[in-house]
Amino acid sequence: MNQTHILKIAEALKLKAKQVINTAQLLGEGATIPFISRYRKEVTGSLDEVAITAIRDRLEQLRELDKRREAILKSLEEMGKLSDELKTQLLAAETMTVLEDIYLPYRPKRRTRATIAREKGLEPLAQLILAQSGSDPLTEAARFVNPEKGVETVDDALAGARDIIAEIVNEDQAARAQIRQLFREKGTFRSRVVSEKEQEGIKYKDYFAWEEPVSCAPSHRVLALRRGENEGFLLLEIAPSQAAALTILEDLFVKGGKADSEQVRLAVHDSYQRLMQLSLETEIRLETKKRADGEAIHVFAENLRQLLLAAPLGQKSVLALDPGFRTGCKLICLDRQGRLLHNEAIYPHEPQKKTIEAEAIVTHLVDKFQIEAIAIGNGTAGRETEAFVRALKLPKSVQVVMVNESGASVYSASEVAREEFPDYDVTVRGAVSIGRRLMDPLAELVKIDPKSIGVGQYQHDVDQKALRQGLDDVVISCVNGVGVEINTASCQLLTYVSGLGPQLAKNIVEYRNENGPFVRREDFRRVSKLGPKAYEQAAGFLRIRNGENPLDASAVHPESYHIVNAVTQDLGCTLADLMGNEKLRKKINLNKYVTATVGLPTLNDIMNELAKPGRDPREKFEAFSFTEGVEKIGDVKPGMKLPGIVTNITNFGAFVDIGVHQDGLVHISQIADRFVPNPNDVLKVQQKVNVTVLEVDIVRKRISLSLRSKP
């Protein structure tokens, strides 16, 4: 383990070196982030998932840096240019940027103007002029005129020398560092519309003549500008003041007002305008893109976390409707375990308008299958279908809930859905997804690519590898944070359990199908290819309700069962007594059970679990309904106060579904009566809110909303 890396990470994250070392070792042994965070607190000093993830990511960055360093050292050695001084510089480089700056003068390149000038023998002249010793450049250049080499005149010689000097300036490490800093601190994004693309690119109208400092441009604008450029509607450049850049370079390379100094000045200007400006603009483009990607991925990840952890209805008998007009509403019935019992189509709306028949079907099915809740997709005809259902004379105990169906169509056409329901078409699968999403959002949403769920910000523009890593981290965190009932979980849900993965998840389902439900955690070991390491990682996150051992339904890891057994023996009580009697638990002296490997953090976690075994960390489900009569954007008027549900959060505000098939935007300035730096500090996806309508633009399909007490 690289000690230098450990110290760097510890310093950057303000952690102890031992915490970083131990965490890195656990990660290296294949331990997952949820497992380390939950069950190895004594080893890491109780680091949470955020800190452990940061250590993992920093380690990966440093490994990439080392990998590139090794490649550069090998390249220089093969070229015979690796001096001790150069090697020392490369080994001391702490960032990829510094590493590449050191390597730049030696990096193999295509033939440049400087290369051609060197081939003509003009390197000595360039070095003489760059030294600025006061010699006459015209006199010196005359000595290098050589028609056979293509140097016809003194001007040709001077031009070639300046080309060489320009390349030297461009490849100078100090010069690049200072100009790079200028780009970062004083650079400006400038965009303008491509000629004759004004109408076609109207959605980018705000950026047709836009300027903004690089240092403070928010991620969503950076990504919007780049998208506009990529789509061919905007011309985008990034640059600081040219005068400021040239002043820096002149201060570095031009010495006084001698005749040869003027030649250096000309070369410096050419170097910046022809080489360095473009090179560093490319760098800053990549740098700002990476930063914007990081922020966008963070926003997406936070939204996804909130959506996955939305309150579940729980195990209820559900009737689900995937609404539609012309094609009708697909209706399905699910039992309390989410199994499909019945499906058919009803046509309560135009053009068929078989309302009476549809009423009879729904009423009959609610009674036949003892339906406890009705889930209605919020897509086309959603509000009309909701009004139809609410008008029925159904038992008051039956909840009617609008469900966000984003991604349901993606699931219904997926391989996962085809495997689950091979004998049904996409309409049935989509309705099933809507119903199950109400029962348990987490269990159903893991079957869908997170990018299709509709809570991202420029998700198709960001680095896809980084996005996948960020979203996978969130899904894994949520699944393990909630815990998974092994006897009912789908293969897709099990895939995200710590230590498992697609193959072991499949093996678990196959074992369950062949041998019946698991009755104790120890039985997990019988699953094909589920070895000791996978068992250690997964066991604490897999639950068995109503099993032989009550601890199997909790987050207490089997490796700690002996501690609980010791406690019950010392107290002379049963496990059931201990879990059900708070006074009994208060008698426990935890210090008595501290060992070299088990400390108070783990013991406290065990006690918390005994108090509420297998508790679900998600909020309790609460019914919600939109305002009657406000079903399309034309029904929305300024000044209206409407209930809504937050569907997406961005850096510039939050989108709220008010039930009209077009989410409204609450700009960050309208989120609260006080200043809000980050919308995620105040709002959550799926949060129920009451908004005031500020403005409605029917043509552009835009609704402006406010959460302030006095908009």
DSSP string, 409-461: HHHHTSHHHHHH-TTS-HHHHHHHHHHHHHH-HHHHHTTS-GGGSS--SSTTT
Q: Write down the pLDDT at residue 581.
A: 86
Confidence (pTM): 0.86
My answer on whether 161 and 289 are in the same domain is yes
Residue 378 lies in a domain: yes
My answer on whether 95 and 147 are in the same domain is no
| Distance separating alpha carbons of residues 634 and 678, to the nearest angstrom | 31
Q: Write down the pLDDT at residue 674.
A: 93
Q: Write down the pLDDT at residue 710.
A: 85
My answer on whether 80 and 129 are in the same domain is no
Q: Phi and psi dihedrals of 494, rounded to 5?
A: -65, -30
We report the CATH number of the domain holding residue 193 as 1.10.3500.10
541-557 burial, b if ≥16 CB within 10 A, otherwise e? bbbbeebebbbbbbbbb
Q: Write down the pLDDT at residue 193.
A: 95
Residue type, 55: I
Residue 620 lies in a domain: no
My answer on whether 353 and 401 are in the same domain is yes
Q: Write down the pLDDT at residue 700.
A: 82
Distance of CA 376 to the CA centre of its chain: 29
| Distance separating alpha carbons of residues 544 and 524, to the nearest angstrom | 11
Q: Write down the pLDDT at residue 656.
A: 95
Residue from 51, 248, 274, 34 nearest 162 by CA: 274
My answer on whether 323 and 346 are in the same domain is yes
Q: Are 329 and 375 in contact (CB under 8 A)?
A: no
My answer on whether 167 and 209 are in the same domain is yes
Residue 170 lies in a domain: yes
Which stretches of the chain score pLDDT less than 50?
Answer: none
My answer on whether 377 and 273 are in the same domain is no
Secondary structure letter of residue 104 according to DSSP? T
**pLDDT 10s digits, 552-602:** 999 999 999 999 999 999 999 999 889 888 888 888 999 999 998 899 999
DSSP output for 183-218: HHHH-EEEEEEPTT-TTTTGGGGGGTEEEEEGGG--
10 Å CB burial of residue 210 (0-12, 13-18, 19+) is buried
**Preceding peptide of 558 cis, ω within 30°:** no
Q: Write down the pLDDT at residue 257.
A: 75
| Distance separating alpha carbons of residues 262 and 88, to the nearest angstrom | 35
My answer on whether 260 and 404 are in the same domain is no
My answer on whether 371 and 282 are in the same domain is no
My answer on whether 10 and 145 are in the same domain is no
330 DSSP β-pair partners = 322, 345
Residue from 641, 640, 638 nearest 698 by CA: 638
- The distance in angstroms from the start CA to the end CA of the chain is 57
Residues 6+ apart with CB under 8 A from 549: 520, 521, 561, 575
Residue 593 lies in a domain: no
**pLDDT 10s digits, 467-501:** 999 999 999 999 999 999 999 999 999 999 999 99
- Token representation of residue 381: 């005809």
Domain that holds residue 649: 633-706
Biggest alpha carbon–alpha carbon distance for the chain? 106
The total number of structural domains that make up the chain: 4
Radius of gyration of the chain (CA): 33
| Distance separating alpha carbons of residues 147 and 190, to the nearest angstrom | 46
632-642 burial, b if ≥16 CB within 10 A, otherwise e? ebeebeeebeb
Q: Write down the pLDDT at residue 389.
A: 95
My answer on whether 184 and 272 are in the same domain is yes
Q: Write down the pLDDT at residue 329.
A: 96
CA dihedral 525, 531, 532, 537 (to 10 degrees): -90
My answer on whether 122 and 81 are in the same domain is no
Q: Write down the pLDDT at residue 3.
A: 80
Residue 530 lies in a domain: no
The sign of the torsion formed by the CA atoms of 608, 611, 614, 616 equals negative
Q: Write down the pLDDT at residue 552.
A: 95
